[in-house]
Structure 1
Amino acid sequence: MQTVTKESHGIVFFDGECNFCNGWVKFIYRRDRQGVFKFASLQSPAAQRILLQFNHRLERIDSIVLVEEGKYYTESTAVLRILKRLDGPIKYVYFFKIIPASFRDRAYQLFAKKRYAYFGRRYECELPSKELRERFVDCED
């Protein structure tokens, strides 16, 4: 079992069937020149293995999950922590952390509930480019 340590990269777990989520991964990748983040779809064996360490059940997950420095984050907190570590002015969106998580997460949940209707769904995970694939946790196994 792969363990996540403080020295590990952050790992972004996303819904591999969601078109918006796949676009979000590409967005992160293009703005992560330092290679801070690795990726895995929530449907992958890597997600099962790693998130099990946090007793995180994947049966009804409807959120992005970020694992970094031995902790995991979901919903708006995960998004803000990711944006904070990206290159460029997008990192300043982290300022929205001052809004209570209950409000931020409610907005996140409303969007997540409609994401397939807005952006569509695929029933097979998209095959990323070779460069992006090297940043996937699944590809290291």
Structure 2
Amino acid sequence: MPAPVAPDTIFFDGVCNLCHGFVQFIIRHDPAGRYRFAALQSDAGRALLASHAIAASASIDPESVLLLSQGRLYSHSDAVLRIARGLGGVWRLAAVGQLLPRAFRDALYRFVARNRYRWFGRQESCLLPTPELQARFL
């Protein structure tokens, strides 16, 4: 019998309103609970990245959403496109974005990331999940 596969983990900027909205979007479109979440600023998030031999200085970049899937780390546009594809249904169409050159996709991603606090604001503290969602957050 194969070992159970750990759910994919999405690391996000815990004080970013855009990131909070992204996490809420994923929760609404992932009723099976394929994804779990960790704020980049959290001890649990840092520990999980460290346990996969990912240097803290490289991983704690709140400018990027990170996806840890089957032991492999994805960042920037690759992470977002893989997450969307993993949601299934119409969201699988996001895979079309892979046809664009990564340099272009990541430049657009970084532009939004650099301006996200100005455009969407920020929280004083990390997102606190409801009791029903607590198990999906590290």
Structure 2 gap ranges (5+): none
State the alpha-carbon separation in 1 of the partners of residues 124 and 89 from structure 2.
Answer: 33
Select 1:14's aligned residue among 3, 12, 15: 12
Q: Which residue type is aligned with residue 31 of structure 2?
A: R
Structure 1 runs (4+) deviating above 6 angstroms are none
Are 2:121 and 1:84 equivalent residues in the alignment? no
How do residues 102-117 of structure 1 correspond to structure 2 at under 5 angstroms? 102-117=103-118
Structure 1 vs Structure 2: percent identity of aligned residues?
38
Local SS of the residue matching 1:131? coil
Change (3 A) 1:14 1:59: closer
Are 2:49 and 1:51 equivalent residues in the alignment? yes
| Deviates further, 118-127 or 55-64 | 55-64
Change (3 A) 1:118 1:81: same
1:63-100 CA-to-partner distances (Å, cap 9, x unmatched) read: 00000111000000000000001143122112111111
| Deviates further, 70-79 or 117-126 | 117-126
The 8 Å contact of residues 76 and 105 in structure 1, kept in 2 or not, is answered as yes
Q: CA offset at residue 36 of structure 1?
A: 0.7
Local SS of the residue matching 1:78? helix
1:87-125 CA-to-partner distances (Å, cap 9, x unmatched) read: 431221121111111110000000000000010011111
1:75 aligned partner? 76
Change (3 A) 1:26 1:97: same
State the alpha-carbon separation in 2 of the partners of residues 41 and 33 from structure 1.
Answer: 20
Change (3 A) 1:56 1:91: farther
Q: CA offset at residue 60 of structure 1?
A: 4.0
Select 1:35's aligned residue among 15, 33, 36: 33
Structure 1 gap ranges (5+): none
Q: Which residue type is aligned with residue 37 of structure 2?
A: F
Q: Which residue type is aligned with residue 91 of structure 1?
A: R
TM (normalized to structure 2)?
A: 0.89
Q: Which residue type is aligned with residue 110 of structure 1?
A: F
Aligned length: 133
Q: CA offset at residue 126 of structure 1?
A: 2.4
